[in-house]
Chains A and B, each alone.
Chain A
């Protein structure tokens, strides 16, 4: 007998009619049509599937044979898979350059490995890659399908639009890809990329073909009638040509580098305005606040080099290390990758302009808090940037923090601090309500218990705030 609860289909899983993800009893499942079931059975027998799964580069998956505990599914779903749960789902417009590049390399590696064993992938979008800390893992098992001899690589254009062009623009022109990918989930077109590149960029291997020629070819043949795939098959197109293209693309992507000398916050640890004693005192306060209690998910907002994210990771199952500065997050990703950290996920995230609901009905891609609500928040040396730098009223900021129903460690930097003074310098005449006293009053009003410690500098105070007894942490789906 199956469960009476209806299947809760994932709103972002609808583009491929042959597979669909649904959630049930805390698990992640995928319905497969008869055709997709045959593809899965073929995939499960390949050597590369086993190899990538063992390396954690493919999401853990098992076929559900006994469906008694699952919701009743429509007859079209001939098979069901259960996937290992990703700690927190993230999107490419929240990743750093290095993360998008590593996800692209995983996509290409899988394409090459699949071709070697008579399979291919139906698409090539970074939304099919997720992260276990600093380790990328491919989650769309339904993307693998038998390779039809003579067929071109179906995901080539999508790979260019969602991986290659964003990486190229960041590497060549220092154009951030986040607003582009957030602005359009389908990525950047060849024509748009061509418009932004300079003549010098075409000297880089592969740019002429993948950008200029592709834009030209799409302009000329995009609206043409006829079955181009059939023409290519008739002319003998085959896997060898795809393999050559993918291998070259791989070399090109691997060689892309984004190396700005510095950003606003990339040197913060060197230029910060407090001394070693206060730094030690701050560390000890955070350590005490985190305590020995196990946490499910911690957010470190404004994480910079991730000192406190690492501290939180000792007690939390998983940590989101969030910072609005792309270069800071990219460097943090590099260091976490070198440490092979599986428990800290670095993301480019601006709390004053957070990832919204996007795509079809605004539900295809969800806001960050819906994907992973924290039970511990570290918010150190951030409030003045949001309140003064972004004009968010202090009361709104504190109410927002309290709204998570989580335990919060927040650092309030007073108006006399050189950092705050710098922010206020060009804001003369504006009445900005911001002070340690006002923050303390608000924190006491919104939280259950508040303890604090003033740093020796006299301009910074750390607060440890417990949620009011009725405020449970927000559930995330």
Chain B
């Protein structure tokens, strides 16, 4: 239960490096995110990078020019 907040930052709206993946089955967003936790020690770096991306994306949003609406 305590591990859940560690997963929360994963969903940060980062839409970087989009690549098409041909999947007919919806793996479920929550289940995909959970797979990071279930990856064991190998997941530590992934979680760190997800935090980092979240941080840099937030900074970019703050400093960058506003998109015309």
* Cβ-defined contact, B18 with A154, below 8 A: no
Q: Is A53 an interface residue (CB 8 A)?
A: no
20 residue pairs of the A-B complex, CB under 8 angstroms, read A15-B24, A15-B25, A17-B24, A152-B32, A154-B23, A155-B25, A156-B31, A157-B28, A210-B38, A216-B30, A220-B8, A224-B11, A228-B32, A234-B49, A235-B10, A235-B47, A236-B46, A237-B36, A238-B42, A244-B42
Please report the C-alpha to C-alpha distance between residue A48 and residue B39 in the assembled complex, in whole angstroms: 23
Knowing A35-B22, A232-B32, A236-B49, the reply to whether A241 touches B43 (Cβ < 8 A) is: yes
Q: Is B29 an interface residue (CB 8 A)?
A: yes
User: How many residues of chain A get a CB closer than 8 Å to chain B's CBs?
Assistant: 52
Q: Is B64 an interface residue (CB 8 A)?
A: no
6 nearest CB pairs, A to B: A241-B39, A217-B30, A218-B30, A157-B31, A245-B38, A221-B30
Q: Is B59 an interface residue (CB 8 A)?
A: no
Instruction: Specify which chain A residues have a CB less than 8 angstroms from the CB of B49 in the assembled complex.
Output: 234-236
Smallest distance from the beta carbon of A162 to chain B beta carbons, Å? 11
Can you name the residue of chain B whose Cβ is closest to the Cβ of A153? B35
Contact string, B32-60, partner A, CB cutoff 8 A, digits 1/0? 11111111101101110110010000000
Instruction: Specify which chain A residues have a CB less than 8 angstroms from the CB of B11 in the assembled complex.
Output: 221, 224, 226, 228, 231
A148 touches which of B10, B13, B21, B47 (Cβ 8 Å)? B21
* Cβ-defined contact, B32 with A241, below 8 A: no
Q: Is A145 an interface residue (CB 8 A)?
A: yes
* Cβ-defined contact, B35 with A154, below 8 A: no
Smallest distance from the beta carbon of A93 to chain B beta carbons, Å? 20
Instruction: Specify which chain B residues have a CB less than 8 angstroms from the CB of A153 in the assembled complex.
Output: 27, 35
Instruction: Specify which chain A residues have a CB less than 8 angstroms from the CB of B39 in the assembled complex.
Output: 237, 240-242, 244-245
B37 touches which of A16, A213, A218 (Cβ 8 Å)? A213
Please report the C-alpha to C-alpha distance between residue A154 and residue B23 in the assembled complex, in whole angstroms: 7
Please report the C-alpha to C-alpha distance between residue A229 and residue B33 in the assembled complex, in whole angstroms: 9
Please report the C-alpha to C-alpha distance between residue A212 and residue B19 in the assembled complex, in whole angstroms: 31
B27 touches which of A150, A152, A209 (Cβ 8 Å)? A152
Q: Is A13 an interface residue (CB 8 A)?
A: no
Q: Is A459 an interface residue (CB 8 A)?
A: no
* Cβ-defined contact, B34 with A214, below 8 A: yes
Q: Which A1-56 residues have a C-beta within 8 angstroms of B?
A: 15-18, 35
Q: Which B1-17 residues have a C-beta within 8 angstroms of A?
A: 1, 3-4, 7-8, 10-17
Instruction: Specify which chain B residues have a CB less than 8 angstroms from the CB of A17 in the assembled complex.
Output: 24
Contact string, A219-262, partner B, CB cutoff 8 A, digits 1/0? 11110101111111111111011101100100000000000000
Please report the C-alpha to C-alpha distance between residue A464 and residue B66 in the assembled complex, in whole angstroms: 87
Instruction: Specify which chain A residues have a CB less than 8 angstroms from the CB of B33 in the assembled complex.
Output: 217, 221, 228, 232
* Cβ-defined contact, B19 with A148, below 8 A: yes
Max count, chain B CB within 10 A of own CB: residue among A15, A213, A238: A213
Q: Is A312 an interface residue (CB 8 A)?
A: no
Instruction: Specify which chain B residues have a CB less than 8 angstroms from the CB of A240 in the assembled complex.
Output: 39, 42
Please report the C-alpha to C-alpha distance between residue A67 and residue B9 in the assembled complex, in whole angstroms: 53
